[in-house]
């Protein structure tokens, strides 16, 4: 089946630190991969995505590379800010030619950045 | 960009009453909408997939008679929690799939508290 595993949180860093949140997946075929961010009390916002192997998604200083050989999509940022404090979800969307194409989410990683 | 709204953003109701939550795609048409439930500090649990003009598809373990879903138009889906109980208290999030791009966009969520 399809599944996503994220590193367990919570993660606490100081401002300007380097961030890595690990994400690995299990899927048949060639899924699309996503990172979503959820700020307190809000819904999910798409942060970045990659649709095929070796693609790099990037947005707001965050990056993640679709690694098929290691089935990974780790999220990185070179210098975090207090405003990056949120919960981050890794997700995959199985490739089906038809159908609802449901997203499969990881368990989420809570990130707190201290000034 | 694509916007999905939810109404209400929060609601408090008494046990035994029913509550309706609306999910609207504001600037695109969505043949498919998804309803999720999120417990505190946990990931999103897909409850059901709603298709315009047809019956919703519920995930295993979700009571379809308790969580009524209607997708009457290409821009509106509703979730009705019938005979609510305190254990139904949760954060409910919808997402809508753009019929043109297939991308999913999430609403801001509705916090339901049953007293």
In this predicted model, what pLDDT tens digit does every residue of B20-46 receive, in sequence order? 999 999 999 998 999 999 988 788 889
Q: Does A42 touch chain B (CB under 8 A)?
A: yes
The DSSP bridge partners found for residue A5 are A24
Integer Cα distance of A32 and A37 in angstroms: 17
Interchain proximity A106–B43, CB inside 8 Å: yes
Residue B72, burial from CB neighbour count under 10 angstroms (0-12, 13-18, 19+): exposed
> How close B44 comes to chain A (CA, Å)?
7
DSSP A97: S
> Which chain B residues have a beta carbon less than 8 Å from that of A42?
108-109
Q: Does B50 touch chain A (CB under 8 A)?
A: no
User: Are the CB atoms for B98 and B1 separated by under 8 Å?
Assistant: no
Token pair listed for A69: 């050989």
Q: Which among A24-38, A60-74, A97-111 has the top mean pLDDT?
A: A60-74
> Which chain B residues have a beta carbon less than 8 Å from that of A101?
97, 102
User: Are the CB atoms for B79 and B18 separated by under 8 Å?
Assistant: no
Interchain proximity B44–A100, CB inside 8 Å: no
> Which chain A residues have a beta carbon less than 8 Å from that of B104?
93, 103
What pLDDT does A100 receive?
56
Kindly tell me if the per-residue pLDDT of A72 is higher than 70.
yes
What's the mean pLDDT in A58-64?
97
SS3 sequence, chain B?
A: CCCEEEECCEEEECCCCCEEEEEEECCCCEEEEEEEEECCCCCEEEEEEEECCCCCEECCCCCCCCEEEEEEECCEEEEEECCCCHHHCEEEEEEEEECCCCCEEECCCEEEEEC
pLDDT digit string (tens) for B56-104? Answer: 999 999 999 999 999 989 999 999 999 999 999 999 999 999 888 778 8
Q: From the centroid of its chain, how far is CA A45?
A: 11
Q: Does B105 touch chain A (CB under 8 A)?
A: yes
Q: From the centroid of its chain, how far is CA A41?
A: 19
Integer Cα distance of A58 and A47 in angstroms: 8
Kindly tell me if the per-residue pLDDT of A7 is higher than 90.
no
Token pair listed for A77: 């940022």
Q: Is the bond preceding B75 in cis, omega lying within 30 degrees of 0?
A: no
Integer Cα distance of B57 and A26 in angstroms: 24
Instruction: With cut-offs at 50, 70 and 90, classify the pLDDT of residue B2.
Output: confident
> How close B45 comes to chain A (CA, Å)?
8
What pLDDT does A99 receive?
55
């Amino acid at each position: 089946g399809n599944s996503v595993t994220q590193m367990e949180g919570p993660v606490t860093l100081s401002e300007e630190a380097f961030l890595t949140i690990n994400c690995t997946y299990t899927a048949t075929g060639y899924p699309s991969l996503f990172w979503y961010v959820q700020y307190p009390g809000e819904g999910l916002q798409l942060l970045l995505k990659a649709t095929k192997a070796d693609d790099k998604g990037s947005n707001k200083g965050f990056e993640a590379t679709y690694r098929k050989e290691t089935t990974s999509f780790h999220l990185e940022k070179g210098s975090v800010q207090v405003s990056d404090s949120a919960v981050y979800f890794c997700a995959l969307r199985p490739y089906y030619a038809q159908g609802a194409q449901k997203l499969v989410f990881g368990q989420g990683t809570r990130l707190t950045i201290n000034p | 960009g694509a916007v999905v709204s939810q109404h209400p953003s929060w609601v408090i109701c008494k046990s035994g009453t029913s509550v309706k939550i609306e999910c609207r795609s504001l600037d695109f048409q969505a043949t498919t909408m998804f309803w999720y439930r999120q417990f505190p500090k946990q990931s999103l649990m897909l409850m059901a997939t709603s298709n315009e003009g047809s019956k919703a598809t519920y995930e295993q373990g979700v009571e379809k008679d308790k969580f009524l879903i209607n997708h009457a138009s290409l821009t509106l889906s509703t979730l009705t929690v019938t005979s609510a109980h305190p254990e139904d208290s949760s954060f409910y999030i919808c997402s809508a799939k753009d019929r043109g791009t297939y991308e999913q966009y999430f609403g801001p969520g509705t916090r339901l508290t049953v007293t």
